[in-house]
Amino acid sequence: MRANHYPDTLRRLTWMTDTVAQPMPTPMSAYLPPPHGALDVVYLDDALVVVNKPSGLLSVPGRGADKLDCMASRVQADFADALIVHRLDMETSGLLIFARGQAAHRALNYAFQTRQVDKSYVAVVDGRPAADAGEIALPLICDWPNRPLQKVDHDIGKPSLTRYKVLSHDPETDTTRVALEPLTGRSHQLRVHMLSLGHAILGDALYASENVQKMAPRLLLHACALSIPHPVSGERLSLVSAPEF
């Protein structure tokens, strides 16, 4: 990790686990979702619809009338029977699955619960990991006084596992493009796990230092691939979405 990127973060620490030092949470800014437009539909049939969620848009409604606009409401405006199956963080872009009807919803929920779904992400991180590939197995839990932040906790954290692989490195900016595969689905898992290696994701307003936040106009994290059993036929369905960054 580049030391000159992190002194300001370390000076404003408010708590520390034995693995991850985390910065003081900053106040949440006003919710300014991207403008409405035509849905970016990646896959559609009678049982499901898969869309690309833009960065900055909630997956489901948040608390308050100002947070009703979300991917779910936008999809349901075109497909009234659409039911969300999983979620992406507001700042994360990429593939989001909606079941069409209760039967498909039950089948897809079962596929997620029994880990029949493979998910892949791409991210750009600060610095370069020491190893070109590896696994991060650190238990995570919500840091309740500082929610929505998550933290590593070896006593009461839930088991969490991420695989990563270096795709490329830019020596001019000392940033690295990585492929990420979450084997578990904890909140902010990829963001906290990469932070634990000392390589925060660029544009991360929750976990990165101020310098690393400013290196990108948004969180550079994108859900780029999904492999799921079709809720009706059971056949394997593989979907891809290239990131804009």
Whether the CA torsion 69, 71, 77, 82 is positive or negative: it is negative
Check if 153 is active-site. Answer: no
Query: What are 68's two structure tokens?
Result: 């009703």
Number of C-alpha atoms within 13 angstroms, CB side, residue 181?
Answer: 14
122 neighbors 165 (Cβ within 8 angstroms): no
Q: d(Cα 84, Cα 87) in Å, to the nearest integer?
A: 8
Cis peptide before 148 (omega within 30 of 0): yes
Residue with tokens 């989001």: 96
Give the residues across from 150 on adjacent strands: 142
Task: From the candidates 89, 126, 143, 204, give the one annotated as an active-site residue.
Answer: 89
Give me the active site residues, please: 89
